[in-house]
A = this chain, B = another copy of it.
Amino acid sequence: MKDKLREAAIELFERKGFKETSVQEIVEAVGATKGAFYYYYKSKEELLSDICLSYMDDLLRQQERILEDAGASCTEKLWEIVYMVICNIRTRKKSARIFFREMRHLADGHLEEIRAKRRLFRKRYEQLIRDGMARGEFKASLNAEMITFGLLGITNWSYYWFQPDGSISERELTEIYVDFILHGIRTPDGTEINKETDRPLN
């Protein structure tokens, strides 16, 4: 029943917003009573916190599994993390959107707990970049912290536009983004073509 309440709340919070959804609507959606609701959750806020925490815990578990793989290079682990975050859009898009949009409605204690988990995810990611720099896979000159924010930006932003059943698959998007992250968009020699003559400018 707890899972059912959470699933119903994810649907309603995502569609209507946290503030605009009442406990009554949540229990009606699963055919339960308010008594049942308050058996599992002290308040609507605690349910929101549960949704955000379970979202972050799940991401952290998946990230840990990838980072633990002693046989993989940092580049391979980077690939796996990008793929993991993109694949989560299919199953966790609504939770993610609630997470980003409604976090401000959390009580201070819950907010701090969730922020700590989010920071852990980012700091582990940053450590992977530092490890790659130490191993000579990634450039030693990188600002690992800023680059990590950039990597998170690329994949987190995809929650707002990527359609997993559209013309580009999760694997294809991962290939495009990891190639971009590793090698950039500039041609190796940066040659510019003169548009009139179709010949190199330099």
Report which A residues bind B (CB closer than 8 A). Answer: 17, 19-20, 73, 75, 101, 104, 129, 132, 134-140, 142-143, 146-147, 149-150, 152-158, 161-162, 168, 173, 176-177, 180-187, 190-193, 195, 200
Contacts and interface: CB of A to CB of B under 8 A. Distances in A.
A176 B135 CA distance: 21
A184 B187 contact: no
A138 B75 contact: no
Given A147-B176, A177-B146, A192 B152 contact: no
Contact of A154 (B139, B150, B186, B195): B150
A112 B160 CA distance: 16
A183 B181 CA distance: 8
Contacts of A156: 153, 157
B75 A186 contact: yes
Given A136-B191, A149-B158, A152-B157, 5 more contacts: A17-B104, A137-B190, A146-B173, A146-B177, A150-B177
A180 B155 CA distance: 15
Rank and list the top 7 A-B pairs by shortest CB-CB distance, nearest first.
A153-B157, A184-B184, A136-B193, A182-B186, A183-B184, A153-B153, A153-B154
A185 B147 CA distance: 9
A200 B136 contact: yes
Contact of A138 (B146, B152, B186): B186
A201 to B, nearest CB: 8
A186 B153 CA distance: 18
Contacts of A139: 185-187
A61 to B, nearest CB: 23
B195 A150 contact: no
